[in-house]
Amino acid sequence: MIRSHSTAVVVAALTALATLVAPAAQSDEALLIRNATVYTGITGAAPQAATDVLVQDGRIAALGKGLAAPADARIVDAAGRPVTPGIFGGLTRIGLEEIGLDSGNGDHSQRLGQMRPEFDVTQAWNPDAPSVVVHRMNGITFTVLTPGSASGGSIVAGQGAPASLAGREALAPRAMFIDLGGDANDLSGGSRAAQFMLLRQAVVEARAPNLVMVHDERLLSPSGRQVLLAFLKGSGVFVFDVDRAVDIRRTIEFAQQEKIRIVIRGGAEAWRVAPQLAAAGIPVLVDPLDNLPSSFDAVGATMRNAARLHAAGVTVGISMRSPDIDDAGKTRQAAGNAVAQGLPWAAGLAAITRVPAEIFGVADRFGTLAPGRPADLVLWSGDPLEVSSVADLVVADGQVQSGVSRHTLLRDRYLERVRRGEAR
């Protein structure tokens, strides 16, 4: 096999660092965070100043003032700093892609040239990927693993699912991802009109698997029909990646006709159809940094999208437009920008904690802090929606997480060489 020079260098570097894996989460000792400003994430709840958080046996044992410390508990003085639920990394390829330039390390798309709703991208997830550790130590504790359409793929990208960045397996329930609009024309015969035609045929095949078709030109395999039928019956949410206002309206109509639960991803012009989205109870995952017309589908893009949707009564979550692993860390920045453009601060925090957890069916594990719940929280150096703030302590899956990654190990290695005057 012949590799490019850049790929060979990367592979060699990763091989050399094979032993520098970040330490696993720390032990099950009790943790008491004293004197924090606690944002529980519970709807309508005010921040609790000078509050202690007790974590025992992987769960939040108590929230209150002056809590007694269990024997041998680790005690951390927050000195008034904020504690929030763990942050949502968005719809991402974390653990599905290592290096974008190396096609052998990108498992997020299928190129079979067929509509395959049974394609489940979680089967390729690597919880030991370096990107998992890096994002976790920066306060991101959960994400939604997201398949992508590619040349030779289909507008039905396949299934993804929530995942804890401190866990080993993807979580139930699954989500079905569908790409619509001008960007998906190459996957649907060159016209967005064909996209709904293909979707309706797929639905017919799933609901009537024994239907006799002319020349038997089926879109779906037998297993694909079974999977799509399960989603049509409510086993998971459909995520429609769509931007143009008129396409969003047609997506709403399609969802109502088929009686399916959907969420809009992207929605650059969603603010233009906010009343219809609110009336239908359809949440939108927006990128608040998306303010330029990158295509004719997004002529109406605005940084006030999130604020306008929220004001109209739409449930708003935040996810970066790009699912690349490097962009997952920008969700806090994006939430801060949305707040700067009129979204209430509490709604900005909810958009990257509670709201996505509720949308994807994992609100029992993420998004809010309350006694008895699994411990999933972050102690911040300052306002969590400010880019200058950092995660001082991360608890995920009930465990205090290490602050060590390949990045920090490399930094420390070469800083030491600089101090000794060995670096060139």
232-247 residue pLDDT tens: 999 999 999 999 999 9
Which pTM value belongs to this model? 0.89
Residue among 162, 80, 137 at smallest CA distance from 362: 162
Poorest-pLDDT segment among 229-243, 279-293, 395-409: 395-409
Instruction: Write down the pLDDT at residue 326.
Output: 75
Domains 20-86+368-424 and 87-366 share a fold: no
Do the Cβ atoms of 139 and 87 come closer than 8 Å? Answer: yes
Instruction: Write down the pLDDT at residue 10.
Output: 42
Instruction: Write down the pLDDT at residue 183.
Output: 86
Strand, helix or coil at 380? strand
| DSSP tag of 371 | T
Which class for 275: exposed (0-12), middle (13-18), buried (19 or more C-beta within 10 A)? exposed
189-232 residue pLDDT tens: 889 999 999 999 999 999 997 776 665 678 999 999 999 999 99
Sole residue written with tokens 């490399």: 410
Q: In this prediction, what percent of the chain has a pLDDT beyond 70? A: 89
Q: What is the C-alpha separation between 57 and 336, in angstroms, rounded?
A: 33
How far lies 406's CA from each of 23, 43, 92, 210, in Å? 10, 37, 21, 53
Residue 101: is its pLDDT beyond 60?
Answer: no
Tell me the average pLDDT across 374-387.
Answer: 97
Phi/psi of residue 406, each to 5°? -55, -35
**Ranges of each domain in the chain:** 20-86+368-424, 87-366
Residue among 121, 233, 238 at smallest CA distance from 179: 238
258-270 residue pLDDT tens: 999 999 999 999 9
Instruction: Write down the pLDDT at residue 99.
Output: 66
Q: What is the C-alpha separation between 19 and 15, in angstroms, rounded?
A: 9
- 275, two tokens: 């009343």
Please check whether the domain covering 87-366 is classified as CATH 3.40.50.2300.
no
Q: Which amino acid is at 34?
A: R
Would strands 59-64 and 87-92 be described as parallel, antiparallel, or unpaired? unpaired
Neighbours of 423 (CB within 10 A): 10
Contacts (Cβ under 8 Å, ≥6 apart) of 110:
116, 119, 147, 150, 153, 158
Do the Cβ atoms of 82 and 139 come closer than 8 Å? Answer: no
Residue 16: is its pLDDT beyond 70?
Answer: no
Do the Cβ atoms of 22 and 405 come closer than 8 Å? Answer: yes
Instruction: Write down the pLDDT at residue 424.
Output: 57
Q: What is the C-alpha separation between 272 and 247, in angstroms, rounded?
A: 11
Please check whether the domain covering 20-86+368-424 is classified as CATH 2.30.40.10.
yes
Tell me the average pLDDT across 364-384.
Answer: 98
The per-residue pLDDT of the chain, averaged, comes to 89
The residues facing 36 across adjacent strands are 51
Q: In this prediction, what percent of the chain has a pLDDT beyond 90? A: 72
| pLDDT band (50, 70, 90) for residue 338 | very high
How far lies 254's CA from each of 33, 195, 271, 332, in Å? 48, 12, 19, 33
The residues facing 379 across adjacent strands are 83, 393
Instruction: Write down the pLDDT at residue 29.
Output: 85
Strand, helix or coil at 297? helix
